[in-house]
A = this chain, B = another copy of it.
Amino acid sequence: MMKLYYATGTCALASHIALEEAGAEYSTVRINFATHEQGSPEYLAINPKGRVPSLVTDRGILTETPAMLAFIAQSFPKAKLAPIDDPFAFAEVQAFNSYLCSTVHTNHAHRPRATRWADDPAAIEAMKKKVPETMTASFELIETKMMKGPWVMGDTYTVCDPYLFTIAGWLAGDSVDIARFPKVKAHRDRMAERPKVQKVLAAEKA
């Protein structure tokens, strides 16, 4: 049985939803960011990066959301969470997830985690100030160029969908109105109707 380490409000939500939708048997462990539990020796033994998510499997521990999402899709092929038998279509899924991970998540992180990239308090404020602009630019690209709709990859639901749902959920906190992006907004509403998404959200809130 797999074990997911997550923290509330983080990108771990994407893998949590994917595990649920895959029909995986899994347990969860919540890491408390408020007490900086991710930096504890116990957690660093699991994930030396001191970040979430981490997925403990019978083969070893995996990290990094795009890698975990592809692993979940490949490990539970009956759930059809990615076009795993078509390298090009699979690469399209991976390219979308990589953009979320490396560009969009990073843009967002300059608000809550700006101290990663500068020490000067004025610089940190300058970074926070630009986050609405960078997140808007990223979501305009997603809305107009990347998302096929109604799901990210078109008519078929994939692991891109819980990942987009997760990161779109940060827009309000980043002072960006999701209503500017009608396809992303409709996607978010459609995701919120899925019983397994509701189950995971309730579990993370409990």
Contacts and interface: CB of A to CB of B under 8 A. Distances in A.
A122 to B, nearest CB: 6
A66 B100 CA distance: 12
A28 interface: no
Interface of A: 48-49, 57, 59-60, 62-68, 70-71, 74-75, 87-88, 90-92, 94-95, 97-99, 101-103, 105-107, 110, 116-120, 122-123, 126-127, 129-130, 134, 141, 145-146
B71 A145 contact: no
The main secondary structure of chain A at its interface with chain B is helix
A173 to B, nearest CB: 17
Contacts of A87: 71, 74-75
A126 B122 CA distance: 9
Contacts of A110: 117-118
